[in-house]
Amino acid sequence: MRIGTGYDVHRLVENRALILGGVKIEHPRGLLGHSDADVLVHAIMDALLGALALGDIGKHFPDSDEAYKGCDSLVLLKKVGELVNEKGYRINNIDSTIIAQAPKLRPYMEMMAENIGRTLDLSRDRVSVKATTEEGLGFTGSQEGIAANAVVSLVKGEIIK
């Protein structure tokens, strides 16, 4: 068994869509980044890559490469999932948390988990998406940005659906 952790953060800015877990969320600001800046998916990708000691998403999808400009992070997640499978591992489960003061994310979390599960060919009960605030503290509490963290476990062998 392998365990990996991932963390990502992006600044909230005007004139950008807010995408989390592949879901477009109604909000006056979105996350700044080279791709769609989906912090949740980025944290999950880093956790998967870290579990196999394969570096991070910057190594595999550098922001200096125009091919990834504005890219849908779920497309990148699919590539990371394929890399995990090529190495002979299968995703056992994903546990993730989004840290954001606003907007309220509960109405979107099920759809986020479904998107991630579908992208990685995992059953819904293997993907956990949670959200929390920092009670007005720090950069997420002051709504300067949104962060996410993820933990994944991988097993050697057959695909677990």
Mark the binding-site residues, compressed into ranges: 8-10, 34-35, 42, 56-58, 61-65, 132-135, 139
Q: Which residues are annotated as a binding site for a divalent metal cation?
A: 8, 10, 42
What is the token pair recorded at 12?
A: 């909230």
Residue closest to 7 by CA, chosen among 160, 154, 152, 114: 152
Beta strands at 145-156 and 89-99: parallel, antiparallel or unpaired: antiparallel
Element (H, E) at 74: helix 73-86
Angle 134-58-111 from CA coordinates, rounded to 5°: 50
Residues 6+ apart with CB under 8 A from 89: 2, 51, 52, 154, 155, 156
Residue type for position 107: P
